[in-house]
Structure 1
Amino acid sequence: MSFFKHRARIASLWAALVLSLTSCVDTADEAPTLKTVTETEYNIEQRDTVEPDPALKERGKTVSHYDDSGNITRREYWLKGTLFETRTFKRDDHGRLLEIVYAAANGEVKKRLVHELDEAGRTVEVRSYFGVDRLSAIHFREYDSKGNRVSEIHKSPDSIVLSKRLFEYDNKNNVMKETELRQDGSVKVVMDFKYDDSGRLIESKSISEDWGNIPYTIEYTQYGDVASRSWVDGDAGTQRVVYEYDYDEFGNWTNREKYDNGALIYVQKRVMEYY
């Protein structure tokens, strides 16, 4: 795995943690339940002019549909005006996720993720299928007495352990350490996490024999969205990505701009429909 893939691995974990941990700090009008969110992503093209005049080039679009309880039911992926994939989220009567179906634009099933729940409604097994029924992998999850996930084991269809992830928690049930093990049980990477008083992730440190010690820091806006990420990138030194937002009256962002070391590189626009 390259350093950049490793960095992406950390970024994806950060995204999951941030989505689950952030909350609105400032007050905004109480938001009604979302019905649809249309998010369009743009790359930045610098025009050949004397004054900076960046042009937006559409990169892709996602349309997310929610039920009246706020659970996502369907997500569409578009590229250059053409639908290329849909994901359908199937749930039980309590809104707990049972299955995700990935389908091509013509309806052909590309992938399925089937969740098995325990009596407490927690996912204890996820079976991944190519197409409708070709089993490709199984993920097993274990929990402690507080309901925190403490391990996830990735196995092949013939039950060979491929990798394992272990989780440790602080006294507020925040993940404070994640350890990823290789197939032979040796440590691949250890990640330590630090949170602020409201439970938001503010620091992460990745320790690996291959990549060394990589520290990350994260800051938030008044509404709990990521305002900046900083990390140390080898000889390049400290790198910093900054996000700027526009919000609607309910505190949901409608425009997000990404700046990499001061240069605008990415724009996302969202249109929300409420129940």
Structure 2
Amino acid sequence: MSSPKVLTLYLCKNQSDFNSSRFLSVKNQSGIKQRIFIVSAEPIRAEVPNIVVTTRKEWLLPVRVGFSVNVALRMIHEKYGISLRDFDYIFKADSDLLLPRDYVYSLASRRAIVGGVGAALLISIPFFMKATGGKYPINYCDDGYIFALSVSKGIWPVAYHAENLLVPPVIFDYKREFAYGVEYYKWGLSPVMLLMVLILSRFVGLRPHEKRSIKAHIHNIAGYMWAFLHRVEKYHFWRDYRRMRNRHFAEKVLKLVFYFAGMT
């Protein structure tokens, strides 16, 4: 395949959080044509353009991220005359990760519509323009929203499996975990499926950054129940998401049944 054209938004809080080796792991991605911008809350000295976006400190991190990405996209268009349609993908990368050099190309070569992990999220431009109207979601789980929206359309996100993908584990924050529970409800995740996902996550071999504590799960359930009791409005795609998640889970169960049946 020809080299995919990628618009990269590298999210970093300030100069003290900027790590050159981590930044270079994103900047030096192989096999792609990349235009990269650093998006930060304070000015950062770097060899690529830096877009500074001021946000409110009381906002949870995912809300600050969504707001910053949208401001950055608008400024990239207005100040640099760059259109999203000039690219194949938009790549949102957090500053606390270290990527293998083939990370983006590996996902793009598999024709990913949405791919990777939340901290290094690859989104195809046609999907981004059509499914979100070219606006990055501003909510309590921005990358999760993109994944859920993709699943609702029958497009399962493409994963990147490699031991050299270094993503720090999530630090427990009770407000964020509660908010995640609210988001699970708004996506359309059924109560039974929520419990199954949380239970299985205690036994399935997840990568370190995906592992969550029991305390986090309790707050997820609390947030979900709060949203249920208050009849919080779900996202427009919730019925399709629930149907696709239930179908996917049923297919997994059937495969296990056939597998064990073949062993007997």
Tell whether the structures are fold-level matches, with TM greater than 0.5: no
Give the TM-score normalised by structure 1.
0.25
Decide which structure has greater strand share.
1
Decide which structure has greater helix share.
2
Highest RCO, 1 vs 2 (Cα 8 Å, sep ≥ 6): 2
